[in-house]
Amino acid sequence: MKKKGKDKKKPDMPDFSFKEFTPEEGAVYEDAVSRFREAVAAGKTLRQAYDTRPVADKELEKLIQADFLKIMIAERHFGQRQSLEEVAAALGVPLNLVKETHARMLQEAGVSAANRFGEEYGGIIPKTND
């Protein structure tokens, strides 16, 4: 009997694609992030901050909201050295959401770094065979 989930091998490096914004989307993004920042600075939860700037394009809205959470994690956890628990509590979101987003951020950074290295040094042939 086969166990579910054991047959599939996870890829070593997940595939990420980063959206290129049109000028209009970029303006909506900047405005939304600015409003979200103001709301969070005023003590609102993440959900309350998101409610301050609805976006007509729901896919773009999800992307902006996901990016804003990453921005908050980067600033508070990496910049201000707050624990992930403190970040979650301050934003009024579940800890598992913050932990999952944090893990995804690290994956994205690793993949981006590996891709950049491959672009810059892809033609290098190792001089050793270890």
For residue range 108-125, list pLDDT tens digits in order.
888 888 878 887 877 555
Ranges of the chain whose pLDDT falls below 70: 1-18, 123-130
Cβ distance 70 to 101 under 8 Å? yes
pLDDT computed for residue 2 by the predictor: 43
Q: How far apart are alpha carbons 37 and 49 in whole angstroms? A: 8
pLDDT computed for residue 55 by the predictor: 95
Please measure the distance between the N-terminal and C-terminal CA atoms of the chain and give it in whole angstroms.
40
Buried b / exposed e along 79-95 (16+ C-beta atoms within 10 A): eeebebeebbebbebee
Q: What is the pTM of this model?
A: 0.74
pLDDT computed for residue 115 by the predictor: 78
Among candidate residues 15, 6, 57, the one with its CA nearest the CA of residue 32: 57
Sign of the four-CA dihedral 76, 64, 26, 14: positive
DSSP state, 11? P
pLDDT computed for residue 45 by the predictor: 97
pLDDT computed for residue 6 by the predictor: 45
**C-alpha angle with apex 25: 71 to 23, nearest 5 degrees?**
115
